[in-house]
Amino acid sequence: MKKVAFIINPYSAKKNYQPFVDSLKKRIEKANFYISESLEGTETFIKENFENTDIFVAVGGDGTISSVAKSLINTGKILAIFPAGSGNGFSNETNFTKNLDGLLAKIKACQFREIDTFKVNDQLSINVSGTGFDGKVVKEFEKTSRGFKNYIQVSIKTFFKYKPINVKFKSEKFKQHDGEYLMLNVANTRQFGNNAYIAPHASTVDGLVEIVLVKKFPLTYGALFATRMFTKNLKEDKYVTYLSVPEIEFSVNTKDWHLDGEYNEISSPVHIKVLPKSLKILV
């Protein structure tokens, strides 16, 4: 069996990680696992175990996976996931489930593929990052006890108060898209999480990200927009424009971003760049 280390985020989703630890201990004698108290803790653990580990398993949501992936980019090490977040966008898109025996079988087989990731200025993103409405939603959501219900409540409240963002592209080629938007997202995979497909045609192996520009729509349109998002039909929506690019630069009049669902401040100009095939992931 390949050498494997588990990084468990005790703050993910329902903070109910003990059953996972118990199951792991039952299946692997002397399992190498780490309950991470911080991003720095994860970084140090990976550094200390780097030489003697082939596969790092992130146990958590997209934020946790991203924090582990950061140390594995363009190295020979393989990322695996036990999904334990509230949205689990990235793990849904990379075929990881909550079946521990299935995961251990995959670890034993040790097959992997290489996928793209991207940078937002100097920060790594693996799934979907964005600014505008959903950057603000994530900021407000982080003040709640999280969960899908809080996410919907915060989204509706924020919608009423929200002023569109102003986006200006650097390249002449994209100037026609300068303007006011409800939100701008950058998608490496198809979904935010919870099967909300913001970019249903996105691929993690095409060397491109989808820049998703969403014009502000009337609240009454929200239900149709959401239906299209959950049924993978957003591509035909008149309020949405997609730009498929390997790299792009723009300015936006807010610093409120979410990177893989975690609130971050990002200053303009914003440079988005795909890192093609930069992450080895267990299949």
Ligand X SMILES: Nc1ncnc2c1ncn2[C@@H]1O[C@H](COP(=O)(O)OP(=O)(O)OP(=O)(O)O)[C@@H](O)[C@H]1O
- Where do contacts with ligand X occur on this chain (CB under 6 A)? 9, 11-13, 36, 38-39, 42, 60-64, 67, 85-88, 146, 193, 261-262
Smallest distance from the beta carbon of 63 to ligand X, in angstroms? 3
CB 109: neighbour CB atoms within 10 A?
A: 11
Q: Which residue is nearest to ligand X (CB)?
A: 61
The Cα–Cα gap between 270 and 256 comes to 12
Taking the least distance from each CB to ligand X, the nearer of 42 and 125 is 42
Q: What are phi and psi of 69, to 5 degrees?
A: -60, -35
Distances (CA, A) of 182 to 22, 151, 167, 219, 271: 44, 17, 10, 12, 20
To the nearest whole angstrom, how small is the minimum distance from the Cβ of residue 171 to ligand X? 32
Which C-beta is closer to ligand X: that of 87 or that of 181? 87
Q: Is 116 helix (H, G, I), strand (E, B) or coil?
A: strand
Pairing of strands 270-282, 78-83: parallel
Instruction: Please state the closest distance from residue 242 (CB atom) to ligand X, in A.
Output: 23
Nearest residue (CB) to ligand X, 166 versus 195: 195
21, two tokens: 């630890």
**Closer residue to ligand X (CB): 64 or 117:** 64
Q: 41 or 207, CB closer to ligand X? A: 41
Q: Which is nearer to ligand X, 36 or 208 (CB)?
A: 36
Residue 9 CB, shortest distance to ligand X, in Å, is 5
Opening angle at CA 22, ends 19 and 28, nearest 5: 135
Angle 172-176-179 from CA coordinates, rounded to 5°: 115
Residue with tokens 């996410």: 151
Minimum distance between the CB of residue 272 and ligand X, rounded to whole angstroms?
Answer: 20
User: How far is Cα 268 from Cα 196, in angstroms, rounded to an integer?
Assistant: 27
In the complex, minimum distance from the CB of residue 38 to ligand X, in angstroms, rounded to a whole number: 5
